[in-house]
Amino acid sequence: MPSHRTLGTTDEQMTASKPSDLDQATLDIAAKVIKNGGIDRELALPEKGLSAAQVSQALAALSEIPNTKWSNGRVSGAVYHGGEDMAKIWVEAFSRFEVSNPLHADCFPGVRKMESEIVSMALTLFNSPLPSSAIDQTGGAGCTTSGGTESILMACKTYRDRARVEKGIKEPEMIIPLSAHAAFDKAGEFFGIKVHHVPVDEETRQVDVAQVAALINENTIFLVGSAPNFPDGAIDDIPALSELALKYDLGLHVDCCLGSFLVPFVEKAGYPMLPFDFRVPGVTSISCDTHKYGFAPKGSSIIMYRSKHLRSFMFSVMPTWPGGVYATTGVAGSRPGAIIAGAWASMQYMGIDGYLESCREIVGAAKAIVKGIKSDFPELYVLGNPLVSVVAFASKTISIADVGAAMAARGWHLNTLQHPVAIHIACTRLTVPAVDEFLGDLRFAVDSASPIKVEDDDQVALYGLGGSSEMKNELVTKMSKRYLDVLYS
Ligand SMILES: Cc1ncc(COP(=O)(O)O)c(C=O)c1O
């Protein structure tokens, strides 16, 4: 055997030159995701900085790489549009607070003021009393964060640390609905909290409270309900979870990240609603995303607590750090004050009347979709009883994958769900004028769908790698990591 092999000549290398299935799938993803619009990729800093005009030209070219067309209302969620003038308000807020950083509250008093007001306004909206002064320990408290995931992460860390200090719990556990957002599982991984997933009722899509009760043990630190959840938009039975939380002295987090600035207005807009906020006595924290239906710029959410005492477990303080005493509220150290200014300005611009009107329109659009599906699509069924903006639907007779593909071919970007396989649309202001088009295109999609297939229930089977669910999860995890790699290619 020669000690050196010539490239490309051995059987082994012949095989190696053919991409593996995983590599081929990665290349397929890359072909779909990487759209550079013919612009060269910059792999290193320019030797000499560009002029302002050149930077502006380059930015213009990048902005012209076609985005998914979202302004026609065919994208589920994703772009929570606050109306024509909102962009101008953001730009003004950004430009006035461009260098600000709330980590240095003394340097940027305006940002500190806006941040505290965002939290107070949200607490008021979610029916929490407010402390009357800096030293009043009664009333609710909260912080802003970078988004729903960070709000949820911080709530989980808060409950973990409180349970450790106050109850000596070293192996914490949380009990969440199967339909709760994946951020809770992420928090479980990050903070070493065991996560119990409780199935939802097939009809109502609400978490099965009896099963939640059965899982409570001496390591349980808190329970979770969503208002509404992401997959099918159901609102869990928060009063029933509250009873459990009070009985067993547990925290109860209500995830209103998606419900954000819709849920407080649903009833006022004249639609039915379920209890979800601090008026329910066992609710101890609520996450609410300003950057969804609050119409704030991306990177903005609020985590609220029933008390300052509870919030104190969220904070991190490093009293002996050589760089000085270091105290922060969330994951980040430095934070963009410009985003806080954008969120504050969005909230001021919308006001109660603006949010009420947008709620009326958005929830109205969701209701029109539910009504249309129920009356004209016997092939489909709506999951649960959507009360807010998300409508999910599935079928017992036709292939939902085909329906999704036909809708995609007509320019719709809907979310595909699993367990059960379903499609959802999260209505936004942009969906409002597109409801009739949605139902029209759905007619075409349903009519062209083939009968239900086994693979519909098991998309991974399409890769021919069937087998156990662990194998599928492993494959999906590998592919997802490749997808994340691709984003940096
Ligand atoms: C119910 C719910 N919770 C949490 C999140 C996480 O929010 P973010 O994407 O801002 O991290 C989402 C996002 O869609 C959500 O729908």
Domain borders along the chain are 92-347, 352-470
pLDDT for position 206: 98
pLDDT for position 460: 40
- From the CB of 258, is ligand 1 less than 6 Å away? yes
Low-confidence ranges of the chain (pLDDT < 50): 1-14, 459-467
- From the CB of 148, is ligand 1 less than 6 Å away? yes
Ligand 1, atom nearest to 77 Cα: 14
- From the CB of 187, is ligand 1 less than 6 Å away? no
Task: Please give the distance, rounded to the nearest whole angstrom, from the Cα atom of residue 254 to the centre of ligand 1.
Answer: 12
Q: Dihedral sign, CA of 413, 425, 240, 148?
A: positive
pLDDT digits (tens, 9 = 90+) for 126-141: 999 999 999 999 999 9
pLDDT for position 174: 98
- From the CB of 151, is ligand 1 less than 6 Å away? no
Give the separation between CA 73 and CA 439, rounded to whole angstroms.
Answer: 13
Task: Please give the distance, rounded to the nearest whole angstrom, from the Cα atom of residue 230 to the centre of ligand 1.
Answer: 7
Task: Please give the distance, rounded to the nearest whole angstrom, from the Cα atom of residue 229 to the centre of ligand 1.
Answer: 9
- From the CB of 208, is ligand 1 less than 6 Å away? no
pLDDT digits (tens, 9 = 90+) for 289-335: 999 999 999 999 999 999 999 999 999 999 999 999 999 999 999 99
pLDDT for position 467: 45
Task: Please give the distance, rounded to the nearest whole angstrom, from the Cα atom of residue 257 to the centre of ligand 1.
Answer: 5
According to CATH, what is the number of the domain 92-347? 3.40.640.10
Ligand 1, atom nearest to 152 Cα: 4
- From the CB of 232, is ligand 1 less than 6 Å away? no
User: Which CATH number fits the domain 352-470, given the four candidates 3.90.930.60, 3.90.1150.10, 3.90.420.10, 2.40.50.100?
Assistant: 3.90.1150.10
Which residue's C-alpha comes closest to atom 9 of ligand 1? 148
pLDDT for position 18: 81
pLDDT for position 1: 35
